[in-house]
Amino acid sequence: MADPRPALWLPRHRGRKLAHHLVPAFVVAAFLLALAVAAFLLDHLLIAVSMLALAAAATVSILREFRRHGSVPAPESASVVTSSGRRAATRFAMAGATAAGSAVTVGLGVVTMVAALALEARYLLLHGDQPRLLQLLGSAVLLVVGFGILREGLRLARVAATDHPPGVYLTRSRIVVSGPDGMNEVYWKDVESVAAENPRGRVPLGDRGPAYITVRRRSEGDGLDSRRAARRDFLRERRHKRVVVPVQYLTADPNLLLNAVEHYLTHPEDRPELGTPEALRRLAGHD
């Protein structure tokens, strides 16, 4: 299958090649660890515990990046459980997770949040007669960071709890996305368009390429007037009208995935080959 457009996403470094890109993360982890040691020496136990938890979370994220395979996995034939049963599919891989890793991340988030709340209570209740604005702001920042770590841990837990490997599955009848947001699917006949895009007003991946591959469903013709239909579509856009693939979680080549979805969307006569070696040969450029 020839690429119909130039590559939108640049290759991403993995494994040891990622080391020089993670220098800031190493520096942050070392700095947080140094703060934890200093807080222990100064007998500020709550601050020490929170800094130690943040340093551990940064270290876990670095180790998770280093665990990624050194090459981009090619599409593979697989099966996926859909709303109407198990179907053969061609799978584009997404980053997986383990139950142990997700539990550690959730635990670090909880520890950070508890320490932040304890600091807030300490400065509000025990030092209510003294202005402690900076300490309260610092505790609030710790609380927000801890909540972010907790959310990441819950995302990893959802990925680890799936019955099959996370990824984007192209079957003969539908597109299935199994990832951090759970399972989502859309029938080929209901797809209106597919596009690479960023969230409105933000460019989170910088010059590495768009953040999302978005598959949009067709609008339903249910007899509503144009204003009511537009309002309904707006309210349902986020949950019902789109199937979103976050590129940051893809380990497969996002350029190949986008080209594959576009090809099978515009060539329905080729969809019966999905889930078979013929699809893999086409994606490898042999057809």
80 φ/ψ angles, rounded to the nearest 5 degrees = -140, 145
Residue 178, pLDDT > 50, answer yes
Average pLDDT over residues 222-226: 46
Residue 231, pLDDT > 60, answer no
Question: What are 145-154's pLDDT values in tens digits?
Answer: 888 888 888 8
**Which pLDDT score, from 0 to 100, does residue 270 have?**
94
**Which pLDDT score, from 0 to 100, does residue 224 have?**
42
How far is residue 118's CA from residue 97's CA, in Å, rounded to a whole number?
31
Question: What are 251-278's pLDDT values in tens digits?
Answer: 888 999 999 999 999 999 999 999 999 9
In the chain, what percentage of residues exceed pLDDT 70? 74
- The residue that leads in pLDDT, 47 or 91, is 91
16 φ/ψ angles, rounded to the nearest 5 degrees = -70, -25
- The residue that leads in pLDDT, 111 or 126, is 111
Average pLDDT over residues 8-36: 68
**Which conformational region is residue 15 in: left (phi greater than 0), alpha (psi within -120 to 50 degrees), or beta?**
left
**Which pLDDT score, from 0 to 100, does residue 172 have?**
94
**Which pLDDT score, from 0 to 100, does residue 16 have?**
46
User: Domains plus CATH for the chain?
Assistant: 15-68+98-160 (no CATH), 76-95+165-283 (2.30.29)
